[in-house]
Amino acid sequence: MNRRKIKLAAACVMALPPVFLQAAEPEVTAPEVVQALEGTFGVHQGQRRNHIKGSCAIGEFVGTAEAAGYSRSLLFTGKVVPVIARFSLAGGNPKVPDAARSARGMALQFKLPQGQLQQMSMLNTPMFGASSPRTFLDLTLAQRPDPATGKPDPETLSAFKASHPDNHAQAQYLASHNPPDSYTHSAFFGIHTFKFINAQDKVTPVRWRFVPQEGEKSLSNEALKTAGADFLEKALIDSTEQKPARWDMLVTIGQPGDPQDDPTQPWPAQRPEFKAGTLTITSASPQKASMCESINFDPMVMADGIAPTNDPVLRFRSQAYAVSFGKRLSGQ
């Protein structure tokens, strides 16, 4: 009888579709991911565990009437909204060269009326490099330097690539696009799908990106060879001293069937979009002791009228940011 039960149980497991078998993987925790970042990049006390190298900036945002038709957020009243911004490079290495083929970040905190906050944490790639926290954790571990060489082990990286196809799109994008010559010449993407909710409670799935009014400009292949290690901050400060830098916030409207919970999958290009507002950056500074240094740019901080989807990466980012922020506050 016991043998019969064992055989039946084994047959049931074999009959399960792959998605259920994958669900049996241990759940990734935020402390686990933060610890992995520390193991790969080292611990730099009192600083961020990811996107550690960055610069602060301040400015303002003015929303459009068209956006107000889709979202009741106070971000889109047409009035001036103060903004604190942070521009950064991905990873936990504070000395990463500014010409590295890695993602760039733009994080924004909008100070809305009635004490409300809206935050955005964006990248300069149209997609994210992981559809789940597990992939992000495995990538971080695969990037860990070999003590013998000081570089990631090629075989470990190859094994990661072979087993994590959800990382391919962003990796290929970064490999085929040279880094920007300035933060002000880069577009930034919200990566995830969000929900706009208007005054009539109508919900619209959206994705957004910020496009520089001056146009996008990448480093040439020749410039990549001679670019210094720390040119991005100086370029940002110098350019905003001469004139403000501006980005248009463009919002794409999702259609039935568009992926909402997977940030590795871009939406088709043939989607309606509209201009939701203009971001103006008026000045910039090194992050040390500046306004942005102490902010936790949690992308789940949203004001009424904008809501998250069930994207597991979006929701996990909030948890990981909280762990990293707690360590920073305690001087760890």
The amino acid at residue 112 is: L
Query: Pick from 165, 168, 139: which is nearest to 152 by CA?
Result: 139
| From 51, 164, 185, 192, the catalytic residue | 51
35 burial via Cβ count (<10 Å: 0-12, 13-18, 19+)? middle
How many CB atoms neighbour CB 270 within 10 A? 6
Identify the H or E element spanning 306.
strand 306-308
Give the burial string for 205-235 (b: 16+ CB within 10 Å, else e): bbbbbbbbeeeeeebeeeeeeebeeebbbeb
Amino acid at 318: S
The span from the CA of 167 to the CA of 265, in Å, is 10
Secondary structure (DSSP) of 247-258? EEEEEEEP-TT-
168 is annotated as an active-site residue: no
CA gap 209, 193 in Å, rounded: 11
CB neighbours of 80 closer than 8 A, spacing ≥ 6? 60, 61, 62
Amino acid symbol at 155: E
Active site positions, annotated: 51
